[in-house]
Structure 1
Amino acid sequence: MKVIQIAQRAVDLERATAFYSRLLGAEPLASFEQSGLVFFDLGGVRLLLERGAPPALLYLEQPDLHTAISRLEGAGVKIVAPPQLIFTHPDATLGPAGTEEWMAFIEDSEGNTVALVSRTPAAGD
């Protein structure tokens, strides 16, 4: 099985669309204002912003986490938790072997928490 779509709550669809357009650096694939739906592409998985959907906790890959957090903070985005080392992958069970997994958490325009994840070479590698 493969994930094809994730829905995220959007109280104000226009505001949420602007937030995710900036965060993802991409415009929506499609927008259906009357139905309250906006779609983005996340590397082959659709992100659906939907009025009335329950909140989801999204984990988005962010190659340069520290720079992204600085940029987002400078833009007024609420940082829920700053970058922190979560796990070092000794093998490839949960991520690329020999990498460190770093995460930070932000709040989107709708009050949802979004995780940004970076995998970098482990210290000493």
Structure 2
Amino acid sequence: MRLIQVAQRAEDLKRAERFYAALLGAEPKAVFDPPGLVFFDVAGVRLLLEKGAPSSLIYVEVADLHGSVESLRNRGVRIITEPQLIFAHDDDLLGPAQSEEWMAFIEDSEGNTVGLVSRIRASGD
């Protein structure tokens, strides 16, 4: 079994499409309007933006968390939680061994919360 799709609420489909295209650095794979569906491919998992979907909390991995947050802030995106260290991985149970997991939370164009995640090698390596 593998995850194939996550749906996210989008009150204004065009606005949400622009927001996620900029956030993901990719254009949608498919748009069906009507009935009001936009699909993005995120590393083999479909992200569906749909007016009728409930809000989901999704997490997106970014290479440079601090830089991404500053770029989003400069575009007027609301930063809910500034970057912070969440967990240091001693083993590879939930992330690469000897790495730190940093997260920040933003508000997307539709009022949904999105987690941004960076995994970096722990200091001293």
Q: Counterpart of 2:116 in 1: which secondary structure?
A: strand
Unaligned runs of 5+ in 1: none
Residue matched to 1:106:
106
Residue matched to 2:25:
25
Residues in 2 aligned to 1:101 and 1:124: alpha-carbon distance in whole angstroms: 16
TM-score where L is the length of structure 2: 0.99
Q: Counterpart of 2:34 in 1: which secondary structure?
A: helix
- Aligned-pair identity (%): 64
Are positions 1:55 and 2:27 aligned together? no
Residues in 1 aligned to 2:25 and 2:35: alpha-carbon distance in whole angstroms: 24
Q: Counterpart of 1:35 in 2: which secondary structure?
A: coil
TM-score where L is the length of structure 1: 0.99
Residues in 1 aligned to 2:124 and 2:70: alpha-carbon distance in whole angstroms: 25
Q: Counterpart of 2:93 in 1: which secondary structure?
A: coil
Residues in 2 aligned to 1:84 and 1:98: alpha-carbon distance in whole angstroms: 17
Instruction: Find runs of 4+ consecutive structure 1 residues off by over 6 angstroms.
Output: none
State the shift of 1:63 in Å.
1.1
Unaligned runs of 5+ in 2: none
User: Aligned ranges for residues 1-125 of structure 1 at < 5 Å?
Assistant: 1-125=1-125
